[in-house]
Amino acid sequence: MLYYVRPMRKEDIPQVNEIDREAFPTQWPLPDYRRELQNPLARLIVACELKEANSEPEPSPPPEKTRPSLAARLKRLFGRSRGEKAVPERELILGFASVWVMADEAHLTNIAVRKRYQRQGIGELLLMSIIDLANELKADFVTLEVRVSNLPAQNLYRKLGFVQTGIRPGYYTDNREDALIMSTESLTSAPFQARLQELKRAHARRYGTSALPAETTAR
């Protein structure tokens, strides 16, 4: 299966809500994604299924062949062009991620993938895309919280260069579980960018070149 990342649109909210409830059934009240799309601090992206070439005809070619880089699309769509009309066809949303950008920090607020599509590199692609977006928006580092028991998520974050920087005792309201605070080093550092680009290439080799949007420019 091939997939790609694009900015979230209001038409995606019902599917994003489905994924949210599946992934976080008791952690928080359901976020108001419509409000988040209008929040100047927030950026939301989704991973969508890319239909095969032999499937029913599409009104336009696959995104990676005609659209500009992910960073350019996000910058355009999250800027003054938020009123652009969405494409009419209903895409299958496989996962989503959201981040708040405040000064030099980008804080990952949510990331989730539909259960039946997990372990196919979608979460990794979303996280790489969030890092690229944070870099494009001139954040210096990305932070997040993760349950101490969520070892698969911690392993993914460490793979992408996050390290533990602290702990929040009793952070999760459903069971008072602690949260680890994790952060990247400076997104502009040469070692971080070199590792990120290698991870992108490895992801593309494993999951198919259509799975990964064009690389953004590193600063």
What is the set of active-site residues? 145, 157
Contacts of 138 by beta carbon, 8 Å cutoff, 6+ apart: 104, 219
Please tell me the number of Cα atoms within 13 Å of 212 on its side-chain side: 23
Strand partners, 141: 105
Nearest to 127 by CA among 59, 182, 73, 90: 182
Residue 157: which of 113, 206, 108 has the closest Cα?
A: 108
> Any idea what the Cα angle at residue 76 is, between residues 74 and 78, rounded to 5°?
60
The tokens for 43 are 């950026």
Instruction: Count CB atoms within 10 A of the CB of residue 79.
Output: 8
**Which tokens hold the place of 68?**
């500009």
